[in-house]
Each structure stands twice: as structure tokens, then as C-alpha cells.
Chains A and B, each alone.
Chain A
Amino acid sequence: GAGVSQTPSNKVTEKGKYVELRCDPISGHTALYWYRQSLGQGPEFLIYFQGTGAADDSGLPNDRFFAVRPEGSVSTLKIQRTERGDSAVYLCASSFGGGHGELFFGEGSRLTVL
């Protein structure tokens, strides 16, 4: 597609439920990033993929969070046993990689945990 696509745009769930958020990057971009943004804050890094592998997952807050990118394109962020504090906008970005790090963001997935 022309831009980074994220689904769903909005997700409301109950505490304790499992959630999956999907990101489809710009075609040809090898690097993919997940960020989380809370109200009034800047985006906070979660995980970075180069190809299929997670090159840096140091931003994942705990083991309830996991992300995959099995074919080096689409990525899924998975959150188990959701908590109210997980409520935020989850942003995905992609770039060409190879040293050219200009990031292009999707519109985000707004997660609300009740």
C-alpha cells in the first residue's frame, strides 16, 4: 500500500483479555517499529524489527507483550492479560533500513482496556 496501515483503528477490551494489533508496512521497507503513545506524551519505543527478526525488544514493558513479523512484512503486536494501564495509542512505523532511517508512521491503533 501507499502508507503504513494499522488495524484495528480502535479496540475496546476488558481487563484480562488478549489483544492483537496488526501493522502492514510500506512495501519494500525492511525495518518496522512499534511505539506506544499515552495522552500528552511522546511516542515510547517498544520493539524494532529488521526483516523477520526482532533487532531490539528492549522497550517491551513486560512478558505480556510480544510481537512477531514472520515473513518480514506484516507485524502483529500481541498483548496478553490486558491491564487498564495498557490503554494507549499503539503506533507502527516503517523505514527502508540500510542506514536510511526516515520513519513513516501509521495512524495508530487506540486500545482502551476497561
Chain B
Amino acid sequence: GIQVEQSPPDLILQEGANSTLRCNFSDSVNNLQWFHQNPWGQLINLFYIPSGTKQNGRLSATTVATERYSLLYISSSQTTDSGVYFCAGGFGNEKLTFGTGTRLTIIP
């Protein structure tokens, strides 16, 4: 099956800083999504981004499908951005395989 590698595993930043999270896939996918898991465990869908670039406020994501990786950018970090960020990939409606996540801690 697909292997999903995320980096870095942990990231500690000061409020206001910018960050880049990376996700590599062992095989091609046509369904790629980014999620934020808040400290209460709720998984929130951030982006559905099988290719190209999308932006939503301070967050943006870019997927280079031919090179099997995706990047999540967070600008002007806030304490509410803390949590674990997961990327997941698969084909169509089939199962998504998740990475082990990047734990982001934003210090006030």
C-alpha cells in the first residue's frame, strides 16, 4: 500500500512565525487531503488538493503530483494553530492512508 511520510515530526514556533510542513508519498495518488487535529482530537479538513495550489486565509497548500509531494504553509501563526497536522492520500473514494503527522506548538 501507499506509504506517507511527513516532516518535520515536531515543530515549535513563536506566535507570528511562518512554517512549512511536507508530505511525501511512495506512489501516485489522485486524492490528497490535509487535516488539522485540534487538542480535543477533532479532525478538521483543511484542503482537498490532489494537484496545484489552494489558499484559505493564512493557510495555503501546494501539491506537485508528478513528484509525489505536498506542502502546507502556515503564515503568521497563532496559538489556535497548535495541534497535529496530517496529510492523507489515496485514489478516488477509496481509503485514505494517513501519515504520522506533524505536531505543531505555537508559543505566545
Q: Is A56 within 8 A of B42, CB to CB? A: no
Would you give the shortest CB distance from B4 to chain A, in whole angstroms?
Answer: 8
Contact between chains at B94 and A48 (CB < 8 Å):
yes
Q: Does B7 contact A (CB under 8 A)?
A: no
Residues of A within 8 A of B99 (CB): 42
Query: In the complex, which of the residues B35, B42, B96 contacts A45, with contact meaning CB atoms closer than 8 Å?
Result: B96
Number of interface residues of B (CB under 8 A): 24
Q: Which residues of A in the span 70-90 have a Cβ within 8 Å of any Cβ on B?
A: 89
Give the residues in chain B near A108, CB-CB below 8 Å.
41-42
The reply on B31 being an interface residue by CB < 8 A is: yes
Picked from B43, B48, B92, B100, the residue with its CB within 8 Å of the CB of A91 is B43
Q: Closest approach, in angstroms, between the C-beta of B55 and any C-beta of chain A?
A: 17
B98 A42 Cβ-Cβ under 8 A: yes
- Are A97 and B97 in contact, CB atoms less than 8 angstroms apart? no
Could you say which of B45, B95, B97, B100 contacts A102, with CB atoms under 8 Å apart? B45
Q: Which bucket holds chain A's interface residue count?
A: 20 to 34
The answer for the CA separation of A113 and B95 in the assembled complex, in Å, is 27
- Asked if B77 is at the interface of the complex by the 8 Å CB criterion, the answer is no
User: A104 to B93, alpha carbons, bound, how many Å?
Assistant: 13
B93 touches A99 (CB 8 A): yes
- Which residues of chain B have C-beta atoms less than 8 A from A48's C-beta? 93-95
Contact with A along B19-42 (1 / 0, CB 8 A): 000000000000101010000111
Does A56 lie within 8 Å of B95, measured CB to CB?
yes
Indicate if the CB atoms of A101 and B48 lie closer than 8 Å: yes
Q: Does A31 contact B (CB under 8 A)?
A: yes
> Whole-angstrom distance from the CB of A75 to the nearest CB of chain B?
15
Quick one: given A43-B43, A102-B33, A108-B41, are A50 and B93 in contact (CB under 8 Å)?
yes
Say yes or no: A45 contacts B97, CB within 8 Å: yes
Residues of the B chain whose Cβ atoms lie less than 8 Å from the Cβ of A14: none
A-B contact pairs, 13 of them (CB 8 A): A33-B95, A42-B86, A42-B98, A42-B99, A43-B43, A59-B95, A99-B93, A102-B45, A103-B45, A105-B35, A105-B42, A107-B40, A107-B41
